[in-house]
Chain A
Amino acid sequence: MAETKAPAERPLSPHLLIYRPMLTMMMSIVHRITGFGLYFGTLLLAWWLIAAASGPNAYAKFEWFAGSIIGRLILFGYTWALLHHMLGGIRHLIWDTGRGFGPNEREWLAAANLIGSIALTVVLWIVGLLAMGGPR
């Protein structure tokens, strides 16, 4: 847009780096980072679906990756990012109704978002590993 190189002659709002880190602020940043990660992670979804559609050999390749240590780490991180972004999204939808902006409410929502996403990730992985017949 406008290529204004000269410093603006108006009061600027304090930049991010000036603030003492707050939970709600960190959660806002993490929401964007998780969304960014989820974006590229959809390649795994596409790979998985195409592999399933292609046949046993292609599927075995995906399973090999998903079962490897790096694959497991990526999928674990992806699970957390997905749940964190989803719970964060619910938080944003609550805010969209004009509710949850109070000093206590927003702290409580942020904490619930973080704790909930970690707890749900662990629960899902326990369920998933049990569904696979224990860790392999």
Chain B
Amino acid sequence: MSDAPVKHIRTPLARVRGRGAARSGTGHFWRQRLTAVANIPLTIAAVIIIIVLLGRNQAAAAQILGSPAVAIIMLLFVASVTTHMRIGMQVIIEDYVHDDSAKLTLLMANTFFTVAVALASAYGILKLSFGV
């Protein structure tokens, strides 16, 4: 940014808007808190489910994981956690990677990874639920 007195038609606010590393405002901050709050009961539930499943064979694990209540909790858990971790990793990338092309590549990879993990997990849960 030059300090020279250049005549701008746009207001100072308009010029800085969307200029943050994320090119966006508080949407991520809010969603990070929203999913953080959701993660607390969902993680506790998921940990209980996992402990219940410890030591059981595949047939028993499949039956429990595919039951409606457990499957819905696990789906919510996966959705909330993957949303949360996508935003979190984006913050880490924006903090440490300043080269634009590297940053954009990593931000894309971040989305690909989180969406892939989310869909793969959801696929597993749904397959167990519908028994196909």
Contacts and interface: CB of A to CB of B under 8 A. Distances in A.
Given A43-B117, A92-B36, A49 B125 contact: yes
Contacts of A124: 47, 51
A114 interface: no
A93 B54 contact: no
A35 B47 contact: no
A36 B113 CA distance: 13
A52 B58 contact: yes
B3 to A, nearest CB: 11
Nearest to B99: A3
Contacts of A42: 81-82, 85, 117, 121
Interface in A15-40: 32, 35-36, 38-39
Given A42-B82, A89-B39, A2 B62 contact: no
B59 interface: yes
A76 interface: no
Interface residues of B, number: 38
Contacts of B19: 1
B79 to A, nearest CB: 12
Contact of B40 (A35, A55, A86, A128): A86
Contact of A56 (B55, B59, B74, B82): B59
B54 A131 contact: yes
Interface string B90-132: 0010000010100000000000000001001101110110000
Main secondary structure of the interface of B (DSSP, over half): helix
Nearest to B125: A49
B61 interface: yes
Contacts of B100: 1
A90 B40 contact: yes
Interface in B4-18: none
A45 interface: yes
Interface in B52-66: 52, 54-55, 57-59, 61-62, 65
Contacts of A93: 33, 36-37
Given A1-B100, A43-B117, A86-B40, A53 B124 contact: yes
A61 to B, nearest CB: 11
Contacts of B21: 1
